Structure 1
Amino acid sequence: MKLSLNWIKKYADLPADLTMAKLSYDLTMSTVEVEDAVSLADNLAGLVVGRILTVEPHPDADKLRVCTVDVGDPAPSTIVCGGVNLAPAQLVAVAKPGAWVKWHGEGDPVEIKPAKLRGVMSFGMICASGEIGLAELFPTTRHSEIMDLSDFEVKPGTPLAEALGLDDIILEIDNKSMTNRPDLWGHYGMARELAAIYKCPLKPIEAAEFTGMTEELKVEIKDTERCARYAGLVIENIKNVPSPFELKSLIWRVGMRPINLPVDITNYVMLATGQPTHGFDRKHIAGGIYVRRAYEGEKLQLLDGETLDLTTEDLVIADEKSPVGLAGVMGGKLDSILDDTTELILEVANFEALGIRRTSQRFDVRTEASARYEKSLDPQRVDDAVAIAVEAFKKYFPEMRITAHTDVYPRPLERARVEVDLGFLRRRLGKDISSEEIVGILSLLGFKTEVCGGSLLVEAPSWRSTGDISLPDDILEEVARLMGYENFEFSPPTVVLDRAVNQRVLDMERAIREYLAFRCNMQEVFTYPWIEDEFVAAAGADTEEMLELSTPPAPDEAKLRSTLVPGLLKAVSTNIRYFTDFRLFEMTQVFFNRNFHSVSEAAAEAGELLPEMARHLGGAFVGGDARQLFREAKGVLEYMHRAAQMEPLGFAQLKKPLWADEKLWVNVMKGQEMIGSLALVSPKCAKASGIKRSLAVVFELDVEKLVPLPSRQNEFTHLPEYPLADFDLSIVFDENVAWSEIEAIARKAELVRDVKFIDEYRGAQVGEGRKSVSFRIWVGSDGGTLTSEQIENVSKQVVKKIGKKFGGDVRGAQ
């Protein structure tokens, strides 16, 4: 937000010796962050007002003229110019040598130097408004039109900033630092704050007086929850004419574009007080003003030309026939100030912040008015806005008359009241400050304070009573910032070292992250908790299990995740555009639309409930070989318990996920309980997710079900005294026989020490629906080295057991 220092000084008598560096520092330390302080005069350095004495044709250029110009120097300056509206006695803006301008208003600024133009020396430049950043104040109607200052009564040589009244400082305030301070969204509010900081007088805004009203303006608020106050004035004898330069300059310098005098007055009131106002053409309002919810199917064309399909959630300003404005956001195009407007209804109203924010987001319409309303303005500010508006209309339209004034105020503001213990303030401030000092500081800010024994009863002013002040800590902050944070001595915190707490669950989660990142070469990702509908549908997620946001970041991102799979699919789809082979994982919160609970009794009474939540772990392996990816992912999960010191995981095929391939899937088990799934993403799901040219294997499991072990359970095992022997087997099985079942049978054979999977083969040699599984077996004995006959017997025993169980055919043995 931009603020004019000269405008602020109209309300607050700031110290004469106050520098911009000092003001910026003090305001930043106590209230809001000042990002910059820009001098408009510095931007116009080297520019002066000149009077053209003569205009002669250029001897060698038809479009150029040779001018002699009085710029306040002892002798006139010769300047070559291509302006189409040059005339003797005309006052113009002249850039003397050394000034910086933009040629034709484009590109980077260039320095003006004496130069020969087509054979004639030129000592300066007669400027167009766009070349010196003043195009909105002095709009042009023709190409190469120079800025005409003949309406200004100034002497040649006067600095341009002084001649135009632009010797001002513009403060640029960080909006985020004042989100919770709606009272500062206007020049008067900031002047009030500076008056408190520097203990200087603040000019009060005198209330407007209304006498001799000749008609009645009907105003009815049908939704008092969404509109706390509505004041309307009928103003006659006005015209839609350009604003005088004084008013245009005020609103231009703080970032708004001048439009016409009635509209500029409404913007002036908003910039002065922070209270938005709006004008309706009186002739286009049928009957009275009604503040109501829109009816289903109603439409409204806004000032910017966009036509909205309204819903019953939208608050509108309507007459007896139809909506004429979107409350708190923007007026209607057909009923606002028009070219032939001679009388208007001035709206000064207070709307509920949350409703304005939702409407603005739903239609993606952000305005200066909505930005202020959604900060929770206090209804009492309406009085200040009405007073300044009446004063401005009287000043710029001396013949105007106010024929009606209606003020409907169904929900008067209750000022915030806080009781705070003096001992609490002194302990937290670290200073033995007296109650008189505290009362004095708070009174500077408009607070009323009563000392009751060891406590203070504090009543906040109206402009601080819309949510900003509610706790003793808020009063503490007010006292501390006015005292100056830089005036508090550093006091190191007292640190008490207690016995370390062994948090095994947190240690396990960290170990899982480190295992996946460092040992498994996976990249950790962090995704938003809301997910797009297309990925929800692609994963086949249960939407009834999902919570929906009341104000989503986008219409198709309203659902909160109850599973990590949609987010992983989006991450794969995004990254696959740049990489064809990668691994990623995420461990984070998921939310379920069930088992709601509150964190406290007070929260339960207020209806603040939390849904069931859990931590899930998900991962994705992307590449070109489906079975290799599946084995890699399964191996990662199989050995995770060793790295994370937790109970081991198992695998079984119980329930296929909807997003999984028909054949390559498995459920993740902890004992007999299913806690997740691992599978190749099916072609249908991959296509719906935009996953092309690569395959993806995804897993997800419930971290809440993982059980950390209290300590490592290491067992001592002797190294074998006699060498182990190994042999390989290749056996053909039906397609549906799992390796885990084969391994379990092989390990039960006598003298078998270990079994490892090697490979599997599918093809014409083994037949349709069959696969050849190759694996290696290690055998040994504590009694001595095994003979070839013993090894052969073990091999036959393994083949027999497997054949009896699964009917496998041996392809070969070694």
Structure 2
Amino acid sequence: MFVSINWIREHITIPDNISVDEIVDKLTKASVEVDGVKTIGDWWDPTLMQVGLVNNILPHPNADRLRLADIQLSNNEIERVVCGAPNLEIGQKIIFAKTGSKVFSPKDNKFFVLETASIRGIESNGMVLSESEMGISDSHEGILVLDKNVKIGTPAKDILSDVILDVHIWPNRPDLMNIVGIAREIDAIFNSVSTLILPDIKFDIHENMDISFPNIIIDTKDLCPRYIGILLKDVSIGESPQWLKDKLLSTGLRPIYNVVDITNYVMMELGQPLHAFDFNSLEGSIIVRNAKKGEILKTLDGIDRKLSPDDLVIADDNAVIALAGVMGGANSQITDATHNVFLEAANFHPNSIRKTSQKFDLRSESSARFERNLPPYLAVIAAQRAAKLIQDICGGTIIHELVDVHGQLDVNPQLVEMDIQYVKKICGMNVSEDEVLQKLELLGFSLHSKANGLLVIEIPLWRTDIHIVDDLIEEFIRIYGYDSVPSIPLSGSIPMHPQQKIVGIRDKIKDMFVNKGFHEIITYSLTTIDKLTAALGESAVSSNMPVSLKNTLSSERSVLRTTLKHSLLETISYNLKNGQQDLWFFEAGRAYATKNDLYEGIYPTSPLAEDEFIVGAISAKVKDRFDMNTNKNIGFFEAKGILESIFNNLELQESYHDANVYGFSNELVDIRIKDVIVGHLGALNASVLHQFDINESVILFEINLGLLSKVLANHQPFVQFSKFPPVVNDIAVVLDVNVLHIDIHNVLIESPLVVSAQLFDIYSGDQLGPNKKSLAYKLTFQSFEKTLTNEEVNIEQSKIIKTLINKFDATIRE
């Protein structure tokens, strides 16, 4: 929202010693965030750019579209200039730039210095300026016409210079989406006594029974708590006075014509949107209702809108005439032929307006205010203010008291009890009742009563965000000044926050992966069904449909992810395209699904089934002893070795088993701990990599932290160790290629004397014969009762070899 400091000064007194920079600083700290500041007129030379009077206009002898204008700047100074503005008229007060003035050229988008010029044979000594040439707005269709009461010779800087603040209004503060609201805040920050002047809302009524007031019917009082109508007769439609156009331009709105400009002006002044209908185009009653299926409304932008019963509309007896709170209809708009105006001021349910405006992509200043839950009382004041201005500016006659139709409204102000001792405790400083009340009264709060040592504070009707005493304390302290609160260190120790076990496990594993050379990435939890399908396959996605967002901000962020795999692959693809190699990535995060009887995730209180995962991906080359890349890709076994090291550090014994997961090649295993599948590891196939535009090999693993944390919760890592020395022997077994390592490993460790069996080599070649492989293990023999002799170890190893031969048809490789 754009805020004019000149407009603010019409409502409050800002102390002379307060600079714009100080206003920006204090306002940002206390109320709204000022995103930008635009200064209008800081480059205007007061001696060269002044108010002039158009004394005379003559035709240009050599050009039909140009005219000669005599501009009076003082009693003794008249300049003749060539002017092509279509709206130039005798008697106008304008801004005249003398030769030597700095002027902005909208055509070239840069400044230039004005010089005496010969235009089609006539000398021109200066220039009559438009708004764009002064940097006020983009309007350059005609010259800027001033109020006739402005004195000639007055520097333009004295009457038109301004400072425009671009402020960000927080969603819970609809009371600040207007000039009066911002003025009240600045007044409370810089003044000890309120100087706020509220707009004049008094108007005259001249009853006239020639025109009957329409019956107002609200069919949906839950969506429209209040609807107010005023009827004005004999309104003159025309151009708005310059002061009104200047006000609208300062807020970023384009002037149209007086009645519409007045409704926009009041909206910016007080925060309540209004709408004006051509009364003569209405038929019968004014009805607030839901649209009927298939109804069509041509809105003011000329587009036919197909309506549904979810859309709240304003209608007469024959047709829909407006999308409630969003945009009016072309069938009832104000035109040059309008004489009688029906003025609407209403209060609509914020969710209804938000859905309709998003559905039709019609976000406007009006809908933005209704979406923030405006107080119903505001409609009355805004209707009165607009009626007053239409009467003064357009010559309209108000022929009827305003008609106020509403359901059950709570018109009594909200009361909140406040204990001054509690205020001191929360603020951390010794403040008095008078100090607190003085700041609150500047914001419109008032002391209702005192009872049992408590202050009962009356909440102003425009503050829909205040409900509890802590809200009041916040109001006091932000106006008092956060910088004024003394900084006192906490006494005593800070209580430790109990950490969820899964968080500690996750952080520990993350550190381990970083130590292994991985880089952690953090990606969005929102994605698309197409990306999930590319990573998981159609079957997996259709059987576990992702949760969709109702009002997504982007088509690329429309559903919650059910996996993290796609994020790793997108990141690898992006880095490869940008010339990066040696990619080691992992991400720790949540995946989401819909809860059901079989699956509720690891967080029972969450409305969704949530699980924690660590997913990693590697696309890199094996290094040689000089740390240079070789031609060999990091493969399955290198990645498996990393995971083995991770689990070993966690003091867990994992095992690997054949698996079948979409998107992987034959090099794929499940990772199990105590028969619980906690993840999988494998090489991705070309089909999946192609969908992510990856031409390099990728090894990917996924670990379910929820399942892993449950295993660790029941895990007793300590194992009694023997005080007797171990005996280490190597054994190489030749087997069929289909025999799994895990099966051999289980046979080896079944021996009561074998405390560990570590695979250290895999070999296959012509020497072994077809479909054969050799697995070499380091066996550690140890007893808890005595020191083993070589004979005892050889006897036990022979038993193991016999079992391998009988069970797997193995041979021992010498």
TM-score (norm 2): 0.80
1:260 partnered with 2:262: no
Q: Distance in 1 between matches of 2:764 and 2:117?
A: 85
1:534 partnered with 2:536: no
Aligned to 1:601: none
Aligned to 1:649: 654
Q: Is the 8 A contact 1:626 1:695 kept in 2?
A: no
- Cα offset for 1:507? 3.4
Q: Deviations over 1:432-468 (max 9, x none)?
A: 444344344433333243211122222311101x2x1
Provide closer, same or farther for how the CA distance between residues 53 and 334 of structure 1 changes in structure 2, counting only shifts above 3 A: closer
Q: Is the 8 A contact 1:295 1:311 kept in 2?
A: yes
Q: Is the 8 A contact 2:285 2:317 kept in 1?
A: yes
Aligned to 1:160: 156
> Aligned runs of 1:430-469 on 2, under 5 Å?
430-449=428-447, 450-464=449-463, 466=464, 468-469=465-466
Q: Distance in 1 between matches of 2:799 and 2:386?
A: 101
Q: Distance in 2 between matches of 1:85 and 1:308?
A: 37
Q: Secondary structure at the match of 1:462?
A: coil
Q: Deviations over 1:345-375 (max 9, x none)?
A: 3221111223322333343332111111112
Q: Is the 8 A contact 2:85 2:141 kept in 1?
A: no
Q: Is the 8 A contact 1:780 1:786 kept in 2?
A: no
Q: Secondary structure at the match of 1:223?
A: coil
User: Which moves more between the two structures, 569-578 or 777-786?
Assistant: 777-786
- Cα offset for 1:618? 2.2
The alignment of Structure 1 onto Structure 2 pairs a total of residues equal to 774
Aligned to 1:525: 521
Aligned to 1:108: 110
Q: Secondary structure at the match of 2:373?
A: coil
1:674 partnered with 2:677: yes
Q: Secondary structure at the match of 1:361?
A: helix
- Cα offset for 1:637? 2.8
User: Which moves more between the two structures, 405-414 or 376-385?
Assistant: 405-414
1:188 pairs, out of 180, 185, 192, with 180
Aligned to 1:222: 219
Provide closer, same or farther for how the CA distance between residues 418 and 570 of structure 1 changes in structure 2, counting only shifts above 3 A: farther
Q: Deviations over 1:24-50 (max 9, x none)?
A: 444344333345554433254453345
Aligned to 2:404: 407
> Aligned runs of 1:599-748 on 2, under 5 Å?
610-622=607-619, 628-643=634-649, 645=650, 647-653=652-658, 656-657=660-661, 659-661=662-664, 663-681=666-684, 685-686=688-689, 689-707=691-709, 708=712, 713=718, 732-734=736-738, 737-745=739-747
Q: Is the 8 A contact 1:229 1:409 kept in 2?
A: yes
- Percent identity reads 27
- Cα offset for 1:224? 1.9
Q: Distance in 1 between matches of 2:488 and 2:146?
A: 64
User: Which moves more between the two structures, 708-717 or 632-641?
Assistant: 708-717
Provide closer, same or farther for how the CA distance between residues 639 and 221 of structure 1 changes in structure 2, counting only shifts above 3 A: farther
Q: Distance in 2 between matches of 1:259 and 1:355?
A: 28
Provide closer, same or farther for how the CA distance between residues 11 and 741 of structure 1 changes in structure 2, counting only shifts above 3 A: same
Q: Distance in 2 between matches of 1:90 and 1:351?
A: 44
Q: Distance in 1 between matches of 2:92 and 2:440?
A: 56
Q: Distance in 2 between matches of 1:304 and 1:760?
A: 76
Q: Distance in 2 between matches of 1:511 and 1:381?
A: 56
User: Which moves more between the two structures, 34-43 or 328-337?
Assistant: 34-43
Please tell me the residue identity of whatever aligns with 2:676. E
- Cα offset for 1:191? 2.9
Provide closer, same or farther for how the CA distance between residues 572 and 408 of structure 1 changes in structure 2, counting only shifts above 3 A: farther
> Aligned runs of 1:238-249 on 2, under 5 Å?
238-249=235-246
- Cα offset for 1:157? 4.2
Q: Deviations over 1:444-499 (max 9, x none)?
A: 333243211122222311101x2x11121111112223333333332222242678
Q: Distance in 2 between matches of 1:288 and 1:107?
A: 52
Please tell me the residue identity of whatever aligns with 2:450. V
Q: Secondary structure at the match of 1:377?
A: coil
Please tell me the residue identity of whatever aligns with 1:212. E
Please tell me the residue identity of whatever aligns with 2:416. V
> Aligned runs of 1:262-277 on 2, under 5 Å?
262-277=259-274
Q: Distance in 1 between matches of 2:77 and 2:4?
A: 37
Q: Secondary structure at the match of 1:589?
A: strand
1:380 pairs, out of 374, 377, 381, with 377
TM-score (norm 1): 0.80
1:553 partnered with 2:553: yes
Q: Is the 8 A contact 2:804 2:810 kept in 1?
A: yes
- Cα offset for 1:285? 3.2
> Aligned runs of 1:503-514 on 2, under 5 Å?
505-514=502-511
Provide closer, same or farther for how the CA distance between residues 529 and 502 of structure 1 changes in structure 2, counting only shifts above 3 A: closer
Tell me, which stretches of 5 or more residues in structure 2 are unaligned?
Answer: 598-603, 622-630
Provide closer, same or farther for how the CA distance between residues 34 and 755 of structure 1 changes in structure 2, counting only shifts above 3 A: closer
Q: Distance in 2 between matches of 1:544 and 1:417?
A: 50
1:236 partnered with 2:233: yes
Aligned to 1:370: 367
Q: Is the 8 A contact 2:50 2:95 kept in 1?
A: yes
Q: Distance in 1 between matches of 2:393 and 2:202?
A: 19
Aligned to 2:627: none
Q: Is the 8 A contact 2:12 2:196 kept in 1?
A: yes
Provide closer, same or farther for how the CA distance between residues 670 and 298 of structure 1 changes in structure 2, counting only shifts above 3 A: farther
Q: Distance in 2 between matches of 1:338 and 1:668?
A: 74
Q: Deviations over 1:75-105 (max 9, x none)?
A: 8779899989999999764444664333344
Q: Is the 8 A contact 2:92 2:148 kept in 1?
A: no
Aligned to 2:333: 336
Aligned to 1:599: none
- Cα offset for 1:398? 1.2
Q: Distance in 2 between matches of 1:97 and 1:691?
A: 63
- Cα offset for 1:270? 0.3
Provide closer, same or farther for how the CA distance between residues 780 and 669 of structure 1 changes in structure 2, counting only shifts above 3 A: closer
Q: Is the 8 A contact 1:105 1:133 kept in 2?
A: no
Q: Is the 8 A contact 1:137 1:249 kept in 2?
A: no
Tell me, which stretches of 5 or more residues in structure 1 are unaligned?
Answer: 141-146, 597-603
Aligned to 1:203: 197
Q: Deviations over 1:194-253 (max 9, x none)?
A: 444421343345455656253132222222222221112233323543222221111112
Q: Secondary structure at the match of 1:668?
A: strand
Provide closer, same or farther for how the CA distance between residues 773 and 348 of structure 1 changes in structure 2, counting only shifts above 3 A: farther
Q: Secondary structure at the match of 2:325?
A: coil
1:174 pairs, out of 158, 165, 168, with 168
Provide closer, same or farther for how the CA distance between residues 452 and 514 of structure 1 changes in structure 2, counting only shifts above 3 A: same
Please tell me the residue identity of whatever aligns with 1:536. L
Q: Distance in 1 between matches of 2:497 and 2:348?
A: 53
Q: Deviations over 1:713-743 (max 9, x none)?
A: 4887899999x78686775513xx4343345
Q: Is the 8 A contact 1:418 1:458 kept in 2?
A: yes
Q: Distance in 2 between matches of 1:55 and 1:284?
A: 44
User: Which moves more between the two structures, 8-17 or 260-269?
Assistant: 8-17
Q: Is the 8 A contact 1:733 1:807 kept in 2?
A: no
Q: Secondary structure at the match of 2:154?
A: coil
Please tell me the residue identity of whatever aligns with 2:594. N
Please tell me the residue identity of whatever aligns with 1:170. I
Aligned to 1:417: 415
- Cα offset for 1:757? 5.3
> Aligned runs of 1:385-400 on 2, under 5 Å?
385-400=382-397
Q: Distance in 1 between matches of 2:183 and 2:89?
A: 44
Q: Distance in 2 between matches of 1:75 and 1:570?
A: 72
Provide closer, same or farther for how the CA distance between residues 499 and 263 of structure 1 changes in structure 2, counting only shifts above 3 A: closer
Please tell me the residue identity of whatever aligns with 1:42. D
Q: Deviations over 1:152-175 (max 9, x none)?
A: 57666432344xx42433333233
Q: Distance in 2 between matches of 1:302 and 1:580?
A: 55
